[in-house]
């Protein structure tokens, strides 16, 4: 005996089944809501399967209705359960097949390339810049993924080149900066000598004299707490600016062929403070600190005296910065052995005797003894 099931009854049964299935799947998905579904492919596939299941069920239900209407077959009327089971099985396996196909396509199109790039990026983070990603296509064609791989390989090649050549690049830039810095210092010091042409060569000679005295200080381990914190090369460069303040002194005083009056000498003494102010303005405008900090100390303090009778601040003893005490000896020695319009040049022996007599008065006693011990190096 056959049981007739109308198309409407079949659709109602199928829709109820789908509603129950949807409710169960949504319950699972809601419990996992806190997870990131962009990377949670497991539930992504469930969603896709469910959508495909509904679409295929609706399509096949409609197809079944047409089939029954044309009375090509009475299978669904003869056995309702069998018909519905066949329909559900067909829809289930069709949806599963399409979902799997989409998953495989997605895996090779996006998921696998992203995993490959992620693994390569992890190696880069560990410092392995030799990592490269290989093409996934054997036909040599360039799709979006292959272009991305090429860009990634180009990036890692550039990073590896920069890493391998970083020190050379830094050295090259540093060398250019040092050359520019030296050129500026030489230009500034020459500017002083062009104006004060009677002291030609004084700046270069005092720089060499400071170097000789510093070498002996280091050899004997004197003033180590201070000297060990110095960058000697930068300090020697900055020593060239100790007389930069003479730029602010008038030619009438700077080039006077005879001895200066008291008023003129008072004006000349201002060159220490003028030099300090010039360098300080350059420091503020350039942001340079170490080089110009040494230069400020040399410019301001090279005429201070051990007994406090020097200028511009009348500092006494160890209150005078060590740089100023060193330059005081070297500056006076070079002035003594150099010819001036108002005096003849002293001999080396005469200059050494005057330096010796200035111990504890003009000069630091420790540095004076040090100078006397290596006096022949200044000939």
DSSP 4-71: ---HHHHHHHHHHHHHHHHHHHHHHHHHTTTS-TTT-HHHHHHHHHHHHHHHHHHHHHHHHHHHHHTT
Mark 264-294 as b/e (b = at least 16 C-beta within 10 Å): beebbbbbbbbbbebbbebbeeeeeeebbbb
Report the phi/psi class of residue 71: left, alpha or beta, with left for phi > 0 and alpha for psi in -120 to 50. Answer: left
Cα 182 to chain centroid distance, Å, stands at: 25
Is 42 a catalytic site residue? Answer: no
Report the SS3 class of residue 94: helix
Cβ–Cβ under 8 Å, residues 212 and 374:
yes
Catalytic residue among 246, 296, 305, 359: 246
**Beta partners for 359?**
363
Q: Which residues touch 116 (CB under 8 Å, ≥6 apart)?
A: 133, 136
Structure tokens that stand for 330 in this block: 């070297």
Residue 81: strand, helix, or coil? helix
Name every residue whose Cβ is closer than 8 Å to that of residue 143 and which is 6 or more positions away in sequence.
Answer: 137
- Compute the distance between CA of residue 279 and CA of residue 297 in angstroms, rounded to an integer: 10
Q: Which of 268, 295, 267 is nearest to 280 (CA)?
A: 295
Cβ atoms of 249 and 256 closer than 8 Å: no
Q: Is 331 exposed, middle or buried (0-12, 13-18, 19+ CB in 10 A)?
A: buried
Q: Which residues contact 372 (CB under 8 A, 6 or more apart)?
A: 352, 355, 356
Q: How far apart are CA 373 and CA 379, in angstroms?
A: 13
**CB 338, CB 345: distance < 8 Å:** yes
Active site residue ranges = 246
């Amino acid at each position: 005996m056959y049981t007739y099931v109308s198309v409407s009854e079949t659709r109602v049964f199928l829709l109820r089944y789908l509603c129950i299935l949807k409710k169960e799947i949504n319950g699972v998905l809601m419990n996992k809501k806190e997870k990131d579904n962009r990377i949670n492919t497991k539930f992504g596939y469930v969603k896709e399967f469910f959508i495909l299941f509904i679409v295929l069920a609706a399509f096949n239900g409609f197809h079944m209705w047409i089939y029954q209407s044309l009375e090509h077959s009475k299978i669904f009327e003869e056995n309702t359960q069998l018909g519905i089971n066949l329909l559900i099985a067909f829809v289930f396996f069709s949806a599963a097949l399409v979902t799997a196909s989409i998953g495989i396509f997605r895996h090779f199109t996006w998921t696998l390339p992203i995993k490959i790039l992620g693994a390569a990026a992890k190696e880069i983070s560990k410092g392995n810049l030799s990592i490269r990603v290989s093409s996934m296509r054997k036909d040599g064609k360039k799709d979006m993924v292959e272009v991305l791989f090429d860009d990634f390989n180009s990036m890692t090649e550039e990073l590896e080149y920069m890493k391998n050549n970083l020190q050379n690049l830094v050295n090259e830039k540093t060398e250019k900066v040092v050359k520019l810095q030296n050129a500026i210092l030489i230009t500034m010091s020459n500017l002083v000598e062009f104006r004060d042409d009677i002291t030609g060569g004084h700046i270069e000679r005092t720089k060499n004299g400071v170097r000789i005295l510093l070498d002996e200080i280091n050899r004997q381990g004197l003033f180590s707490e201070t000297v060990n914190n110095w960058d000697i090369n930068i300090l020697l460069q900055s020593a060239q600016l100790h007389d930069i303040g003479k730029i602010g002194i008038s030619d009438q005083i700077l080039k006077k062929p005879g001895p200066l009056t008291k008023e003129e000498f008072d004006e000349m003494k201002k060159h220490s403070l003028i030099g300090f102010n010039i360098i300080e303005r350059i420091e503020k405008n350039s942001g340079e600190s170490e080089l110009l900090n040494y230069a400020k100390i040399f410019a301001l303090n090279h005429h201070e005296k051990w007994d406090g009778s020097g200028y511009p601040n009348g500092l006494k003893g160890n209150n005078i910065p060590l740089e100023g005490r060193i330059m005081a000896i070297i500056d006076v020695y070079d002035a003594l052995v150099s010819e001036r319009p108002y005096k003849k040049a002293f001999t080396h022996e005469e200059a050494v005797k005057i330096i010796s007599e200035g111990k504890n008065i003009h000069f630091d006693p420790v540095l004076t003894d040090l100078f006397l011990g290596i006096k022949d190096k200044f000939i």
